[in-house]
Structure 1
Amino acid sequence: MDETDLNRYNIDWYNQVRGKSKIVIKPKTTEEVSKILSFCNEQMLAVCPQGGNTCVSGASVPVFDEIILSSDLMNKIISLDENSGVLVCQAGCILENLNNYVADKHLLLPLDLGSKGSCHIGGNISTNAGGLRLLRYGSLHGNVLGLEVVKASGEILDCLSTLKKDNTGYHLHHLFIGSEGTLGFLTKVAIQCPPQSKAVCLAFLAKNELGEILSAVEVIDTPSMDTVNEHLKLSSPIGKHEYYLLLETKGSDEGHDQQKLNKFLESVLNTNLISDGAIASEPAKYHAMWALRERLPEAFLHDGYVFNYDLTVPLEYYYKLVADVREHVGSRAHRVFGFGHLGDGNIHLQVSVKEFSKQMKQHIETFLFKKIKELNGSISAEHGVGFLKAPHLSSIKNESSFKLMKSLKALMDPNAILNPYKVLEN
Structure 2
Amino acid sequence: MHRLTSGLFLCLLFAVIAAADSWPQFRGPNGDGKVDGQNVPIRFSDSDNVSWKTPLPGKAWSSPVVADGVVWLTTAIEVFPTEEERIEILTKKGIEPKKFKQLQVAKQIDLKVLSVDLESGAVTRTIDLTSVEEPDSIHSLNSYASPTPVIDGDNIYCHFGTYGTFCLSRETGTIKWQRKFPLSHSVGPGSSPLIHGDSLVLIQDGINSQYVVSLNKATGETLWKTDRPEMDAPDGEQKKAYSTPIAITDQQGRDQLICMASQWMVAYEPKTGAEIWKVRHGKGFSVVPRPVYNDGVVYFATGFGSGKLWAVSVDGAGDVTDTHFKWESSKSIPSKPSPLLHDGLIYVIADDGIASCFDAESGDQIWKKRIGGKFSASPLFVGGYIYLGSHEGVVTVLKPGKQAVVAAENKLPGQIMASPAVVDNALILRTSEALYRIESK
- If the length of structure 2 is used for normalisation, what is the TM-score? 0.28
Instruction: Provide TM-score, normalisation by structure 1.
Output: 0.29
Structure number having the greater strand percentage = 2
Between Structure 1 and Structure 2, which shows a larger proportion of helix residues? 1
